[in-house]
Copies of this chain bind each other. A is one copy, B any other.
Amino acid sequence: MMLSDAMEDYLKAIYRLQSETGTPVSTSAIAEEVEKTAPTVTSMVQNLAERGLVEREKYKGVELTPEGETVALEVVRHHRLLEAYLTEQLDYSWVDVHEEADTLEHHISEEFEQRVAEMLGDPDVDPHGDPIPGADLRPLDGDETTPLSDHDAGDRVVVSRVRDRDEAELAYLDDAGIRPGTVVDVVNVAPFGMVTVRIDGDEQSLPEAVARTIRVRPARADRTPTEGVSDA
């Protein structure tokens, strides 16, 4: 099936929204995600439904079919492999890679995908900590991470993934030394505004808007997998 860039972007958007909420996705949510108007989305969604890539209930919402999900996973795989490749092989900063990958994801061949994956040793996360779908395009596991802003003073957590779309935000995080793998101690959570954390001994405060986009997992005490859930 020959799909346009636009169609791929809509499928990716629906995929993302669907994974976030678990429920059918609204026209307006898609419109916001792809930065198009609602009627534009309606007509594209009709098109995708005719091709069997989404299931649609009028006035209700839209869901990916298994085929649609596979396409979305392919695009996401391209995107995240490219991000990894650009940072590791071409010396891009993780701040800039998203935009470049967002275009290239639609234009690389299967061969390119394979060679890049091989060159990188089949990585399973991209530079922002987002999981890279495998070549088989099986659905990804559910996300176990929690927003940093949901944690309490005293918690010790490890940064798992950060949002990759906002360059200013990434630059901020980069500067703060926050990236996947960073160990963070939550020092204080003020009711409304700042989250104060300690990183590498330094204390600093993060606006809640930022803390909400940093996804973390519990730091198991000093890397000893004592009470780990299945990790194999």
Counting chain A residues whose Cβ lies within 8 A of the other chain, the interface size class is 10 to 19
A binding-site residues for B, Cβ under 8 Å: 86, 89-92, 96, 99-100, 103-104, 106-109, 111-112, 115-116, 119
Q: Which residues from chain B contact A90 at a C-beta distance below 8 Å?
A: 112, 115-116, 119
A103 touches B96 (CB 8 A): no
Q: Which residues from chain B contact A119 at a C-beta distance below 8 Å?
A: 89-90
The minimal Cβ–Cβ distance linking A130 to chain B, given in whole angstroms, is 21
The residue from B100, B111, B115, B116 contacting A112, defined by CB atoms under 8 A apart: B100
Q: Which residues from chain B contact A99 at a C-beta distance below 8 Å?
A: 109
Copy tally for this chain in the complex stands at 2
Q: Which residues from chain B contact A111 at a C-beta distance below 8 Å?
A: 92, 96, 100
Q: Which residues from chain B contact A104 at a C-beta distance below 8 Å?
A: 104, 107-108
Complex Cα distance, B111 from A91, in Å, reads 11
The minimal Cβ–Cβ distance linking A94 to chain B, given in whole angstroms, is 14
B115 touches A91 (CB 8 A): yes
Known: A90-B119, A99-B109, A104-B104. 9 other contacts (CB 8 A): A89-B89, A89-B119, A90-B116, A91-B115, A92-B115, A96-B111, A100-B109, A100-B112, A104-B107
